[in-house]
Structure 1
């Protein structure tokens, strides 16, 4: 494939944008390539500035669950745009969207709309601290919750430790109340609750970890988190920015039958428009300003264009539950193709798949946590990525991200993708 125009655009971009991009993973740094610049998308396909067509399994990192430029969603956006982009005042659409979210996810008895997943998580953490009057938060190594200072952390030299900043510019004091546990390791959580007894406001977790690849919770892990937080007067926060409306209309909490105290959602709430939401038990959410003392605000929160897209997207998903069965079956076909490739080429590949999420790790080890995820051979992944791109298959330019199947992927898309997976 020719990428002449993309290369020119990238050279121009690096003059004005750090690294030539507005989000780091777009730079293709870990796969040793120049990023392609996308001009348009429709259905399951995206098209770059050089006119190349790709079957898209990034789906804007998840929210394009109905496919790109879904006609009914675009029609609602166009109507909303004609009436104005933003008012900084209440609208009927934000009430409808909040009610729809609450109906789909009953644990979210009260909802606050924001403008991104990062903002949703940051606000949910603040709300948990305000409600419990405790300061400490437990997160899991390898789980990503946006780039707010207090959560942009990594584990230190020990397996269990207070967090140290994972970015320059984040003072250590900002992360001193963030504790790190190991995903799928109940003892690591238990130890922190014993060591910091009475001080932990909340445990925040991706119920299916989707930012170290796709890593599924072991059968008793999420119930354990629900029980230990209840026992210690702490809150359980599900970060469903990735899993929300992906594992089923009710997200991971419906799939695993676990009711969190707070939930955070991201751009899928708006069908890909910039939006997010957090919500939960009414007594907790009543702590949020203007009802309570936990301050949070945003001029563009619940704006009429994003809410229009969100309402239509969620209505389509809610009214067509069969879409989830179809997407899951397509994801299973992809997983089977990786397994066949591994067997035929005698190449170590571990595939994790749930619902419409899938990830192939180039490792012999079963991937169940951060330590096993990072055994994947990223050099092999980079080679695989490049060959997929050259064959017109667009996947994440990082080993530690998910492949997303959308309702717009056709049987022909899946058949072709499976063939490429097995042949390259």
Structure 2
């Protein structure tokens, strides 16, 4: 039988709220956060992903384009942006609904104030605004597939989880960095057929990495495809060169130069993108005994300090796994913020797993995480790249009222002027 959830300290309720009301509260927070990043300005260069398909043979990143191909071929190019926006909003809404339900279930199941604070961090952090801001990116879909993997693992269906992982890898290579460490951690914590599940997950992970490394390069005819979709010839060539043709060594070399030239901006982006994830992982330290028990079951040797070290490494590796991709890609804040999502999945695995009796909530974690969540909720979204940043000030769905506060506006403009110091003309916040 798969692992079951722990019994709640106050079954079904926390802070006087039942699970249903918690779902509503979390979803409202998610909507407020999403509106900080959601906009209607869709550049053709952003949606190249949906024009990449299997017409010229199998390639990575081609599955979503293959699914959308019949619809895009029968509609005018001028409508493609609207189609992408509708799909983006629908998929984001589904993700927010699923996360709201899972977070409410976790809080209600544990009855812990610190777990409630971790859930608040998930919805108040820049994660959801970032997902909303990067219209047509594969991140939302990959997050949904990752949630499916964990649901399959919890339900005792590891084969389904492995198939979903391979499917996600074909959709986009980013899946390896989001889901692989979390899947390995979930495998270690399985209560039934533990060794078989762990070995299977490792084998499937290696197979996925092999697929990524051995996949054939994209056909150069995609350049013309992008041009036909409304992308400029120069932009189409750049997209093909940087997104579909680069080898692993090329990406590593390019990112090494970028990090060397923009180290301070990179560190700022890492701090901004991981502060919520680190806070969540700190709250998970009290549950390392769950992983240690799973390790003792997996490797029946006398307990020792090594189990604590391995447990922490597994939890931190699963939570901060998306950061590894920053050695290959330059979307600093977008990729770093995905660690908030994976860190919350680690918390869900640890606090809902059947293990040692739950201890009392950690007061410092509760207070610190709640205060951090409040601060992050009030901040505007900062989309950070190596040499510059953007704000959601181009056709936003809803203008962020926080930017009307003079002190906040001045602080954001000064920060942007500093962060954009490598540009000739730093961009001001639009009125």
Greater fraction helix: 2
**Structure 2-normalised TM-score?**
0.25
Q: Which has the higher strand share?
A: 1
